[in-house]
Amino acid sequence: MPLRDFLKKKDKISNSHAPSTPDNAAAPAAPEFTFMRSDTHTQEIISPPSFDSEEDLKGPATDGPNESRSSKLFGRNRSASNVSAKSAASGDSNKSKNASTSKRISQRLHLRKSDVGSVSVPDDLPEIDVGEEEGGGAESQWEKRATILAKQNETSRSRPPTPNGAPPDVGFSNMSLEHGKEKGVALTKQVDDNIQEAIRLHENGDLERSTRMFGRLADPHGDNNALSQVLYGLALRHGWGCTPDPAQAVKYLSAAASNAASIEELALQAGLKKGGSAKGELVLAIFELANCFRHGWGVPVDKVAAKQYYETAANLGDTDAMNEVGWCYIEGFGCKKDKWAAAKYYRLAENAGSKTLGNSW
C-alpha cells in the first residue's frame, strides 16, 4: 500500500467517533477503507473503536467459542477484570500459536528453498568474487572450480561394466569409460595426426569414418584422448555418422572433463596460474556439459548445473559460454535474475569478439 494511503487511513481513524451503521449510512463523498483481520483459517471485518459513551463499552461479556476477536479487542469492559484477563490470555495464546505456526511454515519454506540444488554441483563449490584487476589469480580459481565440477559430474554418472573380449574396432555402444585412465591423456604426435585426419574427414563429409576414428582415439582402453572424447561425445549427441546416443555422449563428455581436470589439477598444484596443457579440453567439455544440462540431452534438464557450468567456462575464456550465462542471468535460468551480471558477461563476450545482435544495451 502506498504511503499516501497509509496517511489517509490514519486520518480516517482519528476523525471517526462512532462505528458506522451500514443500514443508515449515506454514500460517502470520499473513498472508504475496510479494515480486515485474517489469519491462516479465518477472516473478519473490524470496526474502529468508539469512546463517546461509557455505556457503549458496557455489555454482556461473553467468553464462549463464538466470541469474535474484534469484540475481545475493541468491545470488552475494562472494569470486568476476570473477563479481561481471560480474553487477554486467550488472545495471547492465539497470537503465540499463530506466530509459532507462521514461524514453522516460514522455516520450512526457507529450508525447501535452500535445498534446491543439483547432484552435478557440489554443495561446497567455492564462490569466486574477485575484481577484474586480479587477472591470473582469478583464472586459477576458476580453473580449480572447473576441476571440482568435472570430478563431481564424473562421480554422479553411473557407468556400465566394461564388456569382456571386445574386439579392437568396437562399436560406439560397446565402449566403456570405466577403466583405462592409467594410460593417460597425453597428446603424442601420432595421436595429434590422427585427430587432424578425423577432423579433415568430418569437414569433407565423411562422417562415418571420422566418427570411427574419434571413437578409437577416445576409447579409455586405447589412447584415452580428452579432445577426442569431447568430439566423439558431440558426434554421439548429434548423430554425426552414427546412431544418436545422448546418454552415452554425456559419459564421454564427462570422461573428457575428468581427464582434462586431472592434468589441470597437477598444473595448479605446481603453481601454474594459467593452468596446464589440457585447459582447452577442460573448458570445451564443461561448456558442452552445460548444453546437455540446459537442453536435457542425455540427462534430465538441470538449470542450476547448466548455469554453474556456463559461468565457469565463461570465466575461463569461452565466448559462447559468456553469452549463454548472460542469458541465464537475464531469464533467471538456474539463478536469480540479475541484469548487472548479464551485462557484465555480454560485455566480456563483445570485447572478446563474440558480439550478439541485440545485446548492446
**Digit-coded pLDDT (tens) for 332-355:** 999 999 999 999 999 999 999 888
Supply φ then ψ for residue 91, to 5 degrees. Answer: -65, -45
Task: Tell me how far apart the alpha carbons of residues 52 and 254 are, in angstroms, rounded to a whole number.
Answer: 79
On whether the CB atoms of residues 315 and 142 are closer than 8 A, the answer is yes
- CA angle centred on 309, ends 304 and 312, rounded to 5°: 125
Grid cell listed for 208: 562415418
Task: Tell me how far apart the alpha carbons of residues 291 and 4 are, in angstroms, rounded to a whole number.
Answer: 50
Amino acid residing at 196 = Q
Per-residue pLDDT, 276: 64
Task: Tell me how far apart the alpha carbons of residues 258 and 180 are, in angstroms, rounded to a whole number.
Answer: 13
Grid cell listed for 15: 476523525
Grid cell listed for 280: 582447452
Per-residue pLDDT, 70: 42
Question: Exposed/middle/buried for 325, CB within 10 Å: 0-12, 13-18, 19+?
Answer: buried
Residues of the chain falling short of pLDDT 70: 1-29, 49-117, 124, 126, 129-137, 154-187, 272-276, 357-361
Per-residue pLDDT, 226: 92
For residue 103, CA distances in Å to 100, 106, 107 come to 5, 5, 6
On whether the CB atoms of residues 110 and 245 are closer than 8 A, the answer is no
Per-residue pLDDT, 95: 52
| DSSP tag of 28 | P
Per-residue pLDDT, 240: 96
Supply φ then ψ for residue 74, to 5 degrees. Answer: -115, -25
